[in-house]
Amino acid sequence: MSCPSGQTVVGTSITYCNNAAWSPALGSCSGSGSSVGQASTSFPSTTTTCSFLPIAPPYGRIVTSQTSPFPDGTDVTLQCDDGYQIQGQNATSRCANGVFTEMTATCTK
């Protein structure tokens, strides 16, 4: 992955698909610059928001009752497709300082 001008990658910029799971978890973009990216700041307010949801693993989706941009403190949850179950921890992610925290859980049969 790459970030828009003026933003930097937080975490891993390269991930690999192995046995229907992405590893390591893909990072996100942070910083100022282009309005396209993970983090944005609403003006004139100083409230930081997350523009994009974390990437869901295969056979899963990210569920939230909020809409983009997601204010700091927004929690999102991994939900697996029918017939699949959450495996691992961190099935919930929170928008903090303009970036969703890492979600490492996967969906397996």
DSSP letter, residue 12 = B
- What percent of the chain lies above the pLDDT cut of 70? 80
Domains of the chain: 7-108 (2.10.70.10)
Number of other CB atoms surrounding residue 37 within 10 Å: 21
Averaged pLDDT, 48-62: 91
Closest of 57, 62, 38 to residue 48, by C-alpha: 38
Query: Phi-psi category of 19—alpha, beta or left, where left has phi over 0 and alpha has psi -120 to 50?
Result: left
Per the structure block, which two tokens stand in for 65? 């009752």
pTM of the model: 0.57
Q: pLDDT tens across 7-48, in order?
A: 788 887 777 766 656 677 777 787 765 444 444 333 344 568
Q: Is the pLDDT of residue 104 over 80?
A: yes
Cis link prior to 24 (omega < 30° from 0)?
A: yes
The average confidence (pLDDT) of the chain is: 80
